[in-house]
Amino acid sequence: MVGGEEVRNKQVIFRDYVSGFPKESDMYITTDKTLHLKVPEASNGVLVKNLYLSSDPYMRLRMQKHGVDLDGFLASYTPGSVLSGYGVCKVVDSGHPDFKRGELVWGITGWEEYTLITSPEALFKIQHTDVPLSYYAGLLGMPGLTAYVGFYEICTPKKGEKVFVSAASGAVGQVVGQFAKLMGCYIVGSAGSKEKVDLLKNKFGFDDAFNYKEEHDLDAALKRYFPEGIDIYFENVGGKMLDAVLLNMKIHGRIAMCGMISQYNNIHEPEGVTNLIYLIYNRVRMQGFEVFDYYHLYSKFLETVLPYIRERKITYVEDITEGLESGPAALVGLFSGLNIGKRVVVVARE
């Protein structure tokens, strides 16, 4: 006997491997499946109702067949199966002693209304709800922790240093910029529209910002904002921007390699980066990182960031889209920069 109310489970299905820019039609919505709102007997999984889904650039990497073995976090989606990603969820039923019905969690879940999470140990419990719940899909979730780890742990910033972040109004970039200001750094960001540049300067307190699409010569643009060079580069885009940054790093500079959104859609023919020799000239450390190597820092991160939020020293701009049906467009739009701030798909508010 299964038990539990039976419901139709609306889902976003990944149709097939993608090459080039993803399209909405690479996914489709279905309500074909039904589900009992109960964890199967003998399972120690957790059945969750998905509330907020995080639409993230790295998901593009999972939409292709990889030529090499990668860690599970980047494993290709299975054609015909439900999409997955980070989300904020409510426990509906639990077969695991650490989780109880009604508790809020965030972690990897399905792009669907309800998900049976079979390894709930990887979920984070949400204990502070005096801040917007959707923040756990952004500022207080994976993207915020990514910014924290990348900036403080990888970039080892010092007061007064010159910091540059690309994709600066995005889910991670806006947080990096505000951390840099709080640290007493000079921070400049690049983004892809006037509206985003305004946001950086007026909402997030960046010292300056520019629209990379309006710069024919990225090297010249960087020299304008960093006449003495860049101490820290927080890399979200790759390609031409990285090449220009390499020409402008200061001696003993650090580059945190967080993402390369400009390259995700031409992963089989990426742009060549030609200025790596400047890593030697200027003795620069360039370091790739993945947030899940630093999950043990999550509580320290919360202790740092929650007070900043409560004291309004950190703000966060979300780009909320309503309904699971909006998911495919929300994801695809990231790659043409349609999002203003952190893109979150609301499946349900409670």
Is residue 272 a contact residue for its own copies (CB under 8 A)?
yes
Region binding its own copies by CB under 8 A among candidate stretches 19-27, 123-131, 287-295, 322-330: 287-295
Burial of residue 168 (CB within 10 Å: 0-12, 13-18, 19+) is buried
Q: Given the complex with its own copies, which of 262 and 326 has the nearer CB atom?
A: 262
Region binding its own copies by CB under 8 A among candidate stretches 3-11, 196-204, 205-213, 278-286: 278-286
Is residue 143 a contact residue for its own copies (CB under 8 A)?
no
Is residue 68 a contact residue for its own copies (CB under 8 A)?
yes
Residue of the chain from 285, 302, 340, 348 that contacts its own copies (CB under 8 A): 285
Is residue 79 a contact residue for its own copies (CB under 8 A)?
no
Is residue 18 a contact residue for its own copies (CB under 8 A)?
no
Residue of the chain from 11, 55, 174, 263 that contacts its own copies (CB under 8 A): 263
Phi and psi, residue 328, nearest 5°: -55, -45
Residue of the chain from 286, 305, 334, 347 that contacts its own copies (CB under 8 A): 286
Is residue 250 a contact residue for its own copies (CB under 8 A)?
no
Do residues 197 and 208 make contact, with C-beta atoms less than 8 angstroms apart?
A: no
Burial of residue 338 (CB within 10 Å: 0-12, 13-18, 19+) is middle
Please name the helix (run of DSSP H) or strand (run of DSSP E) that holds residue 125, with its range, or none.
strand 124-125
The site string for its own copies over 293-322 (x = CB under 8 A, - otherwise) reads: x-----------------------------
User: Within 10 A of 336 (CB to CB), how many other CB atoms are there?
Assistant: 9
CB of 327 to its own copies, least distance (A): 25
| The Cα angle at residue 102 between residues 97 and 103, in degrees rounded to 5 | 65
Residue of the chain from 100, 283, 310, 313 that contacts its own copies (CB under 8 A): 283
Q: What is the b/e burial string over 285-314, where b = at least 16 CB atoms within 10 angstroms of the residue's CB?
A: ebeeeebeebeebbeebbeebbeebeeeeb
**240 DSSP 8-state letter:** H
CA–CA separation, 273 vs 275, rounded Å?
A: 6
Query: Is beta strand 249-257 parallel, antiparallel or unpaired with respect to 285-288?
Result: parallel
Residue of the chain from 277, 303, 312, 350 that contacts its own copies (CB under 8 A): 277
Residue of the chain from 274, 300, 310, 323 that contacts its own copies (CB under 8 A): 274
Do residues 56 and 7 make contact, with C-beta atoms less than 8 angstroms apart?
A: no
Counting residues that bind its own copies (by CB under 8 A) gives: 37
**Contact residues: its own copies, CB under 8 A:** 68, 70-71, 74, 238, 242, 247, 251, 257-260, 263, 267, 269-290, 293
